[in-house]
Amino acid sequence: MPSPDLWVCGHSSDDEGELARIELWNGDICDLEVDAIVNAANLSMWMATGVGGAIKRAGGDSIEFAAVRQAPVPLGGAVVTTAGNLAAKAVIHAVSLDRDRRTSAPTIADAVHSAMARAREIGARSVAFPALGTGVGGFPLDEAARITVETVRSELEISPGIEHVIFALRGAVAFEAFRVAIAAADRPSLSETA
C-alpha cells in the first residue's frame, strides 16, 4: 500500500506515446532527489520567505546569490541556478509573485510554462513543483492546483525528456487540492466520450 505522503497519480503521454509519471508528495520539496526543483520566485529573486526561504535555508546562500545575479526576471519568467547543498541538481526560479507579492492565474500559468521550458533546456528528467502563489501570494489553492496541473500536463506533451513530475506539497489541504485537480484532469471530456 502506498504511503499516505505519496500518491502516484497517473501518467501523461507525449506525442510519441511515452508516459511521464505524475506524483503527489506531502513533504518538503528540499528533500527530493530530482533533477530540478521549482521555486516560487519574486521579481527581485530574493529568497526570504515561503518556498524560497526554505530552499535557501536547506541549500545555502549560493542559490540566492546565483538567482539575484540574474534579476530582474519578468513576471512569468524563469531562470536556473545551482542547487547548493540540496539533493536536487538545479533550482528553477519561476517568477510567480509581483512587486506586491501577489499573483494571478495567467502569471501562475506563465511561470509553470517557463519552468518547464528551463527544465527541457537543462535536460531534466525529473522536476518537482510546489503550489505556486498560494502562500505569500494569497492565490486560492484549488485554482492554483488546477492551473498548475493543466499547464504541466500540456507541457509534458512537448517534453519527451521529462519522465517524472512531482507536486511537492505541505499539508493535507494542499495535497487534496492537487489530488482533486489531477483526478479532474484525468476525466475524459464530453467530446472524448461521445
pLDDT at 112 over 70: yes
Q: Are 11 and 23 in contact (CB under 8 A)?
A: no
pLDDT exceeds cutoff 90 at 181: yes
Beta strand residue intervals within the chain, DSSP E:
6-13, 19-26, 36-42, 78-82, 90-97, 126-129, 164-169
User: Judging by beta carbons within 10 Å of its beta carbon (0-12, 13-18, 19+), is residue 55 exposed, middle or buried?
Assistant: buried
Tens-place pLDDT, residues 13-62: 444 455 789 999 999 999 999 999 999 999 999 998 889 999 999 999 99
pLDDT tens-place string over residues 126-141: 999 999 989 888 899 9
For residue 93, give the 3-state DSSP assignment. strand
pLDDT of 193: 32
The pLDDT score that the predictor gives to residue 101 is 81
**What mean pLDDT comes out for the span 153-161?**
94
Share of the chain above pLDDT 90, in %: 75
Cell of 70: 540574474
State yes or no: pLDDT of 156 exceeds 90: yes
What is the second-level CATH architecture of the domain 9-188?
3-Layer(aba) Sandwich (3.40)
Name the burial class of residue 22, with classes exposed (0-12), middle (13-18) and buried (19+) by CB atoms within 10 angstroms of its CB: buried
Q: Is 105:111 a contact under the CB 8 Å cutoff?
A: no
Residue 173, amino acid = V
Q: What is the spatial distance between Cα 74 and Cα 63, in angstroms, rounded to a whole number?
A: 19
Q: What percent of the chain is predicted at pLDDT more than 70? A: 86
**Residue partners of 117: CB distance under 8 A and separation at least 6:** 78, 155
Model pTM score? 0.88
Query: pLDDT band for position 187 (50/70/90)?
Result: low
- Is the pLDDT score of 74 beyond 90? yes
